Amino acid sequence: MALPTEAEIIEALRTVQEPESGKDLITLNMVSGLVIKDGNVGFSLEVHPDKGAEMEPVRRAATNAVSEINGVASVTAVLTAHRAASQNKTGASSKAQPQKTVQSTKQSVAGVKNIIAVASGKGGVGKSTVAINLALAFNTIGLKTALLDADIYGPSQPRMMGLAGEKPSGGDGDKLKPIEKYGLKLMSMGFLVEEETPMIWRGPMVMSALQQFLRDVEWGDCDIMIVDMPPGTGDAQLTLAQQVPLAGAVIVSTPQDIALIDARKGLNMFHKVEIPVLGIIENMSYFLCPNCNHQADIFGHGGARAEAEKLSVPFLGEIPLHMQIRETSDGGAPVVVSDPASVNSEIFLSIASKVWALLEDDAANTRPPPSIVIEK
Ligand code: ADP
């Protein structure tokens, strides 16, 4: 079957009107972050932050219009309000967002276009689970993706990817080859030390291990690299945040107050080193019963969304506490690859599309060119 083209998708979106103006989505320049891979289509619709609910029928109409194109296997359309949020960055109410500055001491990683940190203020909130599913979701929407597991205190990505016990092989010269699975390039401290081995990491050790992973691995061309950060906001995290040329950070939190306080600390840490926070994700947001699909807000769902609003940081999405998410990650095939059509996968795909739209927006508007530092 023929695969859908960008032109066909744009034509389909021209048939969908925004009700207030009566104009179509393309004329209004509302579509961004369009990605097409093997018939899977993803895009964002940019809307005013106050109009999210009103625009839901438009999102559905856009999804239906694109679904009807021959060869389209799935459509992920998300509403984003980031233009308004990024305007806040320079506006009077922007106390939470730093101005972007050239990170002159950081060396970019050859071939890698965007590096994003996935961080959390404390452990156990599902940061690594979110990082891997998000990375796989980026890959699903057609972006070449790598994951660097820098969670030195408990590198869990090899286990979640079914790669425990694997060792990376040497590439050209002294470089290591990342291990590839499900289309993702992966490098982890866990390939070098056992997950259970307690490690005491001091600043310089963290630095040199990380430098090696960034510089001495054959990453090749990647649109996105996700860095699964160690949990917390101590020295090691600060050092990582300072050393990696990050395009931005995503903070994972659970809805409980205590986790949100920790999340705020995470946010402040990135502000300190002038890295934009792309948004907050609420994990274990509500309990979804695997038998009857009943939703129970056991942790007081919605805390992260409220916190994000207060801090003028985009809210990226809510992930339920769901048996499928735990079982698939623990089984070595995260939900985004083992059950790509599930509601849980759709949530990760939608968050990935939002993050990609934010990055594209940043690239178009404000990001300075990477600086090149020659080390003596
Ligand atoms: P962290 O990296 O923050 O320490 P992990 O990603 O290792 O946390 O998650 C801790 C445990 O919680 C793992 O067993 C994982 O499978 C589980 N988990 C994480 N998120 C969810 C979720 N949304 N639903 C169910 N289980 C989850």
Q: What's residue 343's pLDDT?
A: 92
Residue ending a domain, choose from 105, 123, 142: 105
Question: pLDDT tens across 15-73, in order?
Answer: 999 998 999 999 998 888 787 777 878 788 887 767 767 788 898 899 899 999 999 88
Query: Is 110 part of any domain?
Result: no
Give the range of the structural domain holding residue 36, as residue numbers without chain letter: 6-105
359 and 313 assigned to the same domain: yes
Measure 172 CA to ligand 1 centroid, in angstroms: 36
168 and 147 assigned to the same domain: yes
189 and 326 assigned to the same domain: yes
Query: Is 376 part of any domain?
Result: no
Q: Is 166 helix (H, G, I), strand (E, B) or coil?
A: coil
Q: What angle separates helix 257-272 from helix 303-310, to the nearest 10 degrees? A: 30
Strands (E), 13-144: 31-37, 40-46, 74-80, 112-119
Q: What is the dihedral of CA 336, 209, 100, 29, to 10 degrees?
A: -20
Task: Mark the ranges of the chain whose per-residue pLDDT is less than 50.
Answer: 83-105, 367-376
Q: What's residue 90's pLDDT?
A: 31
Q: What's residue 209's pLDDT?
A: 75
Residue ending a domain, choose from 83, 105, 127: 105
Ligand 1 pocket: which residues have CB below 6 Å?
A: 120, 123-129, 156, 231, 283-284, 319, 321-322, 325-326, 329-330
78 and 142 assigned to the same domain: no
Question: pLDDT tens across 79-88, in order?
Answer: 776 543 333 3
- What's the number of domains the chain is made of? 2
Query: Is 218 part of any domain?
Result: yes
Query: Is 28 part of any domain?
Result: yes
Q: What's residue 216's pLDDT?
A: 83
Q: What's residue 176's pLDDT?
A: 85
166 and 143 assigned to the same domain: yes
Query: Is 373 part of any domain?
Result: no
CA–centroid distance for 266 within its chain: 16
89 and 228 assigned to the same domain: no
C-alpha 104/C-alpha 373 separation (Å) is: 8
Q: Ligand 1, from 120, 125, 129, 159: best to mutate by most atoms within 8 Å of Cβ?
A: 129
Q: What's residue 10's pLDDT?
A: 93
Measure 129 CA to ligand 1 centroid, in angstroms: 5
C-alpha 103/C-alpha 118 separation (Å) is: 19
Residue ending a domain, choose from 105, 129, 155: 105
Q: What angle (nearest 5°) sits at the alpha carbon of residue 267, between those of residues 84 and 330? A: 105
Strand duo 248-253 + 184-188: pairing = unpaired
C-alpha 178/C-alpha 181 separation (Å) is: 10
244 and 355 assigned to the same domain: yes
80 and 30 assigned to the same domain: yes
178 and 92 assigned to the same domain: no
Q: Write the CATH number for 59.
A: 3.30.300.130
Q: What's residue 101's pLDDT?
A: 32
Query: Is 10 part of any domain?
Result: yes
Q: What's residue 169's pLDDT?
A: 82
Q: What's residue 144's pLDDT?
A: 95
Measure 283 CA to ligand 1 centroid, in angstroms: 9
With 0-12 / 13-18 / 19 or more C-beta atoms within 10 angstroms meaning exposed / middle / buried, residue 125 is buried
Q: Write the CATH number for 359.
A: 3.40.50.300
Question: pLDDT tens across 343-356, in order?
Answer: 999 999 999 999 99
183 and 255 assigned to the same domain: yes
